[in-house]
Chains A and B, each alone.
Chain A
């Protein structure tokens, strides 16, 4: 198919520099009509900037683009849409209180009357196997269905090129399969798809060709079906990957026991925890997966002590701790590393030294009758920086001046070095480059070798498969029964995560 199809879009030598960083340097590739083309790269490799240039959100410094043989220089997204380029963003822009048709009308230049629009939505959704009721209120839809709203909004414009930015990060494996069916059908009808992802298996499954970006440059083009996932990863990272090694270890006694934990979310739009129960033994890693927004933040808060529950709902070595606050739990060696680095795990404008004090005050004995021992605090910060290879000019630098991966190493390292008995981490490697991610995972495994119980909450299934001993899924605030990770298939995990959430299977 790709050999014969005419070229749709040619990108030639695009360069875009921001102050202090070159986001894209001399990037060139082509997409044929009907081709599913992957844009592969780590966080910060320049994928987003590149597609923003194609979609008219950012203007390139130099280079040119050609669309169906004609020069293509979109000055704004409206111009890009007029030329048949549409984009589905990673974060949806939908109003919860409005219905599907109203939301779609809001994104259109000249929306037809509601009745006509509803008919067209039904039409398009049936054609492409995306069943969707135009009168449904968006607030009641699952993440997968919301994505359908965004896709249909694009399809109504009859695009020639559909850009999808990390579309599967909010989907269960079953929902991903439904989406891929639709994308394949679109491709068969001649719509080209530019698919951005760092999930290698998906790309091997779906895409006809792939352009790999590293540090803003194209480092290779390939047919992903002919490469192994490891080969793709090494192209992306530019070095041989070290898979974390797990020392053989004996699983000990139960350290953490959670019994019928229910907690209201502190956030009005959050998900409350409902009857969560599980146990973690010494030396064990419990992996908790789930689609974002199903109670991950709330579970971390209930374990860290930011949200209090019944005393007996959380037991550590038999001691009830459910009603204790974060510092009282730190006394008992229960530590946590939240997902959001800036603003939750660390204060953006404070130095790393001051951020070391944020959680280290108690276990590292950094205060004396409430007075701060600055030399000890600085020494602790420097120890974290050194042992976790945090790249920064010094401990006096503000947290927000660090890159995401370096700050993440600092945040995880700060907790790991405090010798926890129980460590809870939410998204330990989100937005972290592959080698740093491997180092973080290794440090978590080393911790279990010393007898700690570790809970890893993550949306990255590959990560969880790599380090977990047992596996559970969060779905609408409920946790499934943990199962041994060994021998668990992706399909079984998907069902634990809620399967397709009752979403109608595409009629393709």
Chain B
């Protein structure tokens, strides 16, 4: 019989090793899944993990990885702060959409003028939109004790309806021949989030993601607010004793994660996506939850996890077109990653012993 024994302290070794175990386990389970679908498992895994980086078309895929990783990291960093404090913002997808609408709206309001402040204003508007959407569940929780998981999740669907409404109405391109969707911001230079260095995929969102990683690291390790966040998550009663005001902290964490998701949405709409449209959102806000946990809620971990998830997304697209893997199987593959990371967490908190608990 196997027996779990709680460690006196979480093991550093296993904490670092579990993400790797999870990735390997996902490859094995994913390979089995692909084999059941009648695809060659090793080729599928190679296509997902290897081809985007080292195949002959890697010059095209590598920048794509950065472009996909930036919003995942930005959102994941914000979510991780809340998760550390025990504030469960599941609605980053909705905050991402609202940030995009506010950001694009602020830019398009000036169309076709060309002022230097338009782009910075869009960043602020995007952050504001995302924060606004996240503060709804935060205030409902602090005022009425509602569950932020449910409220923030339900607001995603409200946000999707707002998105389709503005695509058909408020932000619809007047010169779009009646098609839904806004003007393309890539063609509006003052509002465009173009590549900073051509061919690298680096746009302002990538820079912002790196800054967010550094800022979150400093906050968590060098600042009293980061300490209060960790303390609240680990021992809420001790946090109150230490002078933390739980309601303020909930509002801070939700507002900040919403703002980062909103900024991510704004960089996305002004850059890679280009326009507000009905199918603008692709579930990045949900994938970012996997990123946050895969990165052990640690800023540097999230940086790597975001890159890894972006790699599987880009690789998954290749596998879809080259091998004919269904899109849903790629989503399932990413979901397995979260499952395995949470499951292997047991190893860092517990020691596995072989033998029975009681011997006579």
Contacts and interface: CB of A to CB of B under 8 A. Distances in A.
B241 A370 contact: no
7 contacts: A326-B240, A327-B242, A338-B241, A344-B241, A347-B231, A371-B223, A400-B9
A400 B349 CA distance: 13
A306 B240 CA distance: 6
Given A59-B360, A325-B243, A401-B8, A347 B222 contact: no
B161 interface: no
B10 to A, nearest CB: 7
Q: Considering the complex of A and B, which 8 residue pairs feature the smallest CB-CB distances, nearest first?
A: A327-B243, A347-B235, A401-B8, A326-B243, A398-B9, A344-B237, A358-B242, A370-B224
Nearest to A75: B360
Given A326-B243, A347-B231, A398 B238 contact: no
B358 interface: yes
Interface stretch (A123-131, A207-215, A348-356): A348-356
A335 B359 CA distance: 48
Given A361-B224, A371-B222, A349 B243 contact: no
Contact of A354 (B222, B227, B241, B359): B227
Interface string B211-231: 000000000011111010011
Interface string A284-323: 0000000000000000000011100000000000000000
Interface string B222-260: 111101001100110110111101000000000000000
Interface in B180-239: 221-225, 227, 230-231, 234-235, 237-238
A367 B9 contact: no
B8 A398 contact: yes
B223 A350 contact: no
Interface residues of B, number: 24
B227 A359 contact: no
Contact of A304 (B5, B231, B234, B241): B241
Contacts of B230: 350
Interface in A236-280: none
A336 B238 CA distance: 12
Contacts of A336: 241
Contacts of A347: 231, 234-235, 238
A343 B8 contact: no
Contacts of A340: 237
A345 B240 CA distance: 10
B165 to A, nearest CB: 42
A61 interface: yes
Nearest to B232: A347
B98 to A, nearest CB: 30
A371 B360 CA distance: 55
B79 to A, nearest CB: 21
Nearest to B221: A372
A19 B5 contact: yes
A86 interface: no
A397 interface: yes
A48 B225 CA distance: 42
A357 interface: yes
A346 interface: yes
Contact of B238 (A345, A370, A401): A345
Interface in A377-435: 397-398, 400-401
Contacts of B358: 58-59
A359 B242 contact: yes
Contacts of A354: 227
B9 A401 contact: yes
Interface in B120-150: none
Contacts of A372: 221-224, 227
A78 B319 CA distance: 61
